[in-house]
């Protein structure tokens, strides 16, 4: 065993060149571990297991702010507009489930952020008869008879399938 003095690190005893594990971790990762980044990633990975299916479909974790002691954290949830009342009533239940998942009182408060969900439903602007007329106009521009017949048959089959 020998003593090593370094200006950045207090003098420590090392055995045959062995170093503590904390000295071998890069600085950036040390900061993340000190801030509890692994707790947030475990919440995200296990979100549907921690809370029930109904809650996991209408909200998800956005961020977490915790102290250095890893307690009294504030969990920020993104909630679908219109479903915030359900999550508001379940806040205490969610906090209890997260704390039981970690085994200690990690989360003390939940803040909600309401988000809008995009509707992916396309509105039909043209009626089927208007679409058919537009198609027939474009079909007149085609000079090849075989292509015209093929496209006409294709449109007929498509219309029969959608009816």
Structural domain contains residue 6: no
Residues 133 and 154 in one domain: yes
Residue 150's domain comprises: 128-162
71 contacts 106 by C-beta, under 8 angstroms: yes
Structural domain contains residue 82: yes
Structural domain contains residue 9: no
Rg (C-alpha) for the chain, rounded Å, is 30
Structural domain contains residue 3: no
Q: Quick one: pLDDT at residue 149? A: 86
Structural domain contains residue 132: yes
H-state helical runs in the chain: 21-24, 27-35, 37-45, 47-50, 53-58, 84-102, 128-140, 145-162
Higher pLDDT, 102 or 20: 102
pTM of the model: 0.53
Which residues lie across from 59 on neighbouring strands? 79
Structural domain contains residue 30: no
Residues 86 and 148 in one domain: no
Rounded to the nearest 10°, the torsion over CA 65, 68, 70, 76 is 0
Structural domain contains residue 101: yes
What CATH code is carried by the domain that includes residue 56?
3.30.300.180
pLDDT, tens digit, 9 for 90 and up, residues 117-162: 766 555 555 566 777 777 778 888 888 888 888 888 888 887 787 7
Q: Quick one: pLDDT at residue 43? A: 87
Residues whose CB falls within 8 Å of the CB of residue 33, separated by 6 or more in sequence, listed in order: 25
At residue 41 the predicted structure's pLDDT band, cuts being 50, 70 and 90, is confident
Residues 83 and 99 in one domain: yes
Residues 87 and 143 in one domain: no
Residues 43 and 115 in one domain: yes
Q: How many CA atoms lie within 13 A of 56 on its CB side?
A: 12
pLDDT, tens digit, 9 for 90 and up, residues 94-119: 999 998 988 888 889 999 999 987 66
How many other C-beta atoms lie within 10 A of the C-beta of residue 48? Answer: 12
86 contacts 123 by C-beta, under 8 angstroms: no
What are the structure tokens assigned to 89, written together? 């009533």
Structural domain contains residue 110: yes
Number of domains the chain contains: 2
Residues 48 and 91 in one domain: yes
Residues 108 and 42 in one domain: yes
């Amino acid at each position: 065993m020998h003593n090593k003095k370094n200006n950045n690190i207090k003098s420590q005893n090392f055995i045959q060149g062995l170093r503590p594990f904390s000295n071998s971790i890069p600085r950036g990762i040390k900061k993340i571990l000190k801030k509890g980044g692994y707790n947030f990633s475990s919440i995200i990975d296990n979100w549907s297991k921690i809370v029930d299916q109904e809650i996991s479909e209408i909200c998800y974790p956005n961020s977490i702010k915790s102290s250095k002691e890893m307690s009294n954290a504030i969990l920020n949830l993104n909630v679908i507009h219109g479903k915030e009342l359900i999550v508001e009533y379940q806040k205490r239940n969610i906090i209890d489930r997260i704390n039981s998942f970690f085994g200690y009182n990690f989360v003390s408060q939940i803040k909600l952020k309401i988000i809008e969900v995009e509707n992916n439903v396309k509105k039909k602007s043209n009626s089927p008869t208007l679409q058919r007329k537009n198609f027939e106009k474009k079909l007149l521009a085609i000079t090849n008879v075989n292509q015209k017949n093929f496209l006409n048959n294709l449109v007929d089959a498509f219309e029969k399938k959608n009816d």
